[in-house]
Amino acid sequence: MTPAALFAGGLAAGLVAGTASCTAVQGGLLIGLTGRRDGGERRSAGPVVPAFIGGRLASHMVVGALLGLLGGVVRIPPEARAVLLVGAGTAVIVFAVRLIRNTGRAASCSSHHAPAPSPPGGGLARPAPWMRAGLLGAATVLIPCGVTLSTEVIAVSSASWFGGAAVMAGFVTGTAPAFALLGVLVRRIASTRLAVIAAAAALVAGSVTVLAGLRLGGWLPDLGAPATATAGAQRRPDGTQVVTVWSTAEGYRPGVVSIEAGRPAEIVFRTLDNQGCTRTLTIQGRDITLPVTGEATVRLAPQGPGRLRYVCGMGMYAGFINVSQPAPSAATTEPGH
């Protein structure tokens, strides 16, 4: 595909699917920026929002170029992505805590006295708001939404640094109107209470991101997983077991399937207009990318008894494969015959 076609594809993904997904995951950071007060005065959203979007554009283009340059040669293993998610979520939590503390201090100062002007030359100068907004916007590349992961897969498949940068630039451009609108709305209704709400939303988003990273890395127990399978396998004449799993925006259906130990198996993942993070999944250390509509088959070598686990690229949804001992054959020979 040409860079122009890749840009158009990324733009469509950003407008259609990425708008709601990315603003939900990353919007709390922008709300915190535009809702904060500096020195008792409401911070202007004018330079902040463009700087935030510009930071997102720059970092995503750089990542897209690197992914396209590396192509299929180098892939980030699931454990490394899990560490990045945990680190990004922790950073968002720290930001939310600081925002809550700063909001409380600002409210206390404004209710008692006007803030004293800083003495000239006293202390270190803080970065300008637009600079902080740009850095925070650039950091959103570490907090990917589900559609971002799918777009990054396209950047890898382009096998070109220019094509990878183009598809990521189109994606960020497609999501930019939603972020701009969010910043304008927050600018009009900004208040101390809104800042607290924004901090709370960022705190929740950070916690969810940390949990997703832990789940992706397999560092959390499989709590809530059904003890028994909800669907079994069909067997071909050659003995291969076949199981069908639907990958939907709400998760994998059925969530648990069953195969027999000691026999090869095929897991057929099917999709129907799925733009969510479940299109990318990790199973046995392998990354699988599913089409928006269609199917992909994962072949498994004969397994020992136990349970296999697979998880979406964001660590949000998981599925399980119970591997059980084969049932004893009904045709047994009676002793003494």
Read off the CATH number of the domain in which 261 is found: 2.60.40.420
Report if residue 132 sits inside a domain: yes
Report if residue 332 sits inside a domain: no
pLDDT at 274: 86
pLDDT at 317: 87
Q: What is the mean pLDDT of residues 12-27?
A: 71
Q: Sorting pLDDT into bands at 50, 70 and 90, what band is 34? A: low
- Tally of domains within the chain: 2
Report if residue 285 sits inside a domain: yes
Alpha-carbon distance of 199 to 2, in angstroms, equals: 42
Q: At 48, is the secondary structure helix, strand, or coil? A: helix
User: Within this chain, do residues 103 and 132 fall inside the same structural domain, yes or no?
Assistant: yes
User: Within this chain, do residues 53 and 196 fall inside the same structural domain, yes or no?
Assistant: yes
Residues 6+ apart with CB under 8 A from 208: 89
Report if residue 71 sits inside a domain: yes
Cis peptide preceding 254, ω within 30 of 0: yes
What is the span of the domain harbouring residue 12?
3-115+127-216
Give me the helix-helix angle, 146-158 and 48-70, nearest 10°. Answer: 40
pLDDT at 36 over 90: no
User: Within this chain, do residues 143 and 191 fall inside the same structural domain, yes or no?
Assistant: yes
pLDDT at 329: 59
Decide which of 187, 216, 245 is a domain's last residue. Answer: 216
User: Within this chain, do residues 201 and 241 fall inside the same structural domain, yes or no?
Assistant: no
Choice between 225 and 309, residue whose per-residue pLDDT is larger: 309
Choice between 300 and 132, residue whose per-residue pLDDT is larger: 300
pLDDT at 40 over 90: no
pLDDT at 209 over 70: yes
Report if residue 226 sits inside a domain: no
Choice between 125 and 272, residue whose per-residue pLDDT is larger: 272
pLDDT at 110 over 70: no
pLDDT at 44 over 70: no
pLDDT at 241 over 50: yes
User: Within this chain, do residues 210 and 248 fall inside the same structural domain, yes or no?
Assistant: no
User: Within this chain, do residues 185 and 308 fall inside the same structural domain, yes or no?
Assistant: no
Q: Sorting pLDDT into bands at 50, 70 and 90, what band is 337? A: very low
User: Within this chain, do residues 12 and 96 fall inside the same structural domain, yes or no?
Assistant: yes
Q: Between the ranges 86-90, 91-95, 217-221, where is the mean pLDDT highest? A: 217-221
Q: Between the ranges 100-114, 126-140, 254-268, 306-320, where is the mean pLDDT highest? A: 254-268
User: Within this chain, do residues 158 and 254 fall inside the same structural domain, yes or no?
Assistant: no
User: Within this chain, do residues 172 and 285 fall inside the same structural domain, yes or no?
Assistant: no
User: Within this chain, do residues 168 and 255 fall inside the same structural domain, yes or no?
Assistant: no
Choice between 49 and 299, residue whose per-residue pLDDT is larger: 299
User: Within this chain, do residues 145 and 262 fall inside the same structural domain, yes or no?
Assistant: no
Decide which of 216, 247, 263 is a domain's last residue. Answer: 216
pLDDT at 327: 72
Choice between 271 and 136, residue whose per-residue pLDDT is larger: 271
Decide which of 153, 184, 216 is a domain's last residue. Answer: 216
Report if residue 121 sits inside a domain: no
Q: What are phi and psi of 3, to 5 degrees?
A: -55, -35
DSSP string, 272-318: SS--SGGGEEEETTEEEE--SSEEEEEEE----SEEEEEEETTSS-E
Write down the pTM of the prediction. 0.68
Report if residue 335 sits inside a domain: no
Give me the helix-helix angle, 129-139 and 19-35, nearest 10°. Answer: 150
pLDDT at 35: 53
Report if residue 337 sits inside a domain: no
User: Within this chain, do residues 44 and 188 fall inside the same structural domain, yes or no?
Assistant: yes
pLDDT at 230: 63
Render pLDDT for 51-89 as a digit per residue (tens, 0 to 9).
889 999 999 999 999 988 887 565 667 787 788 778 777
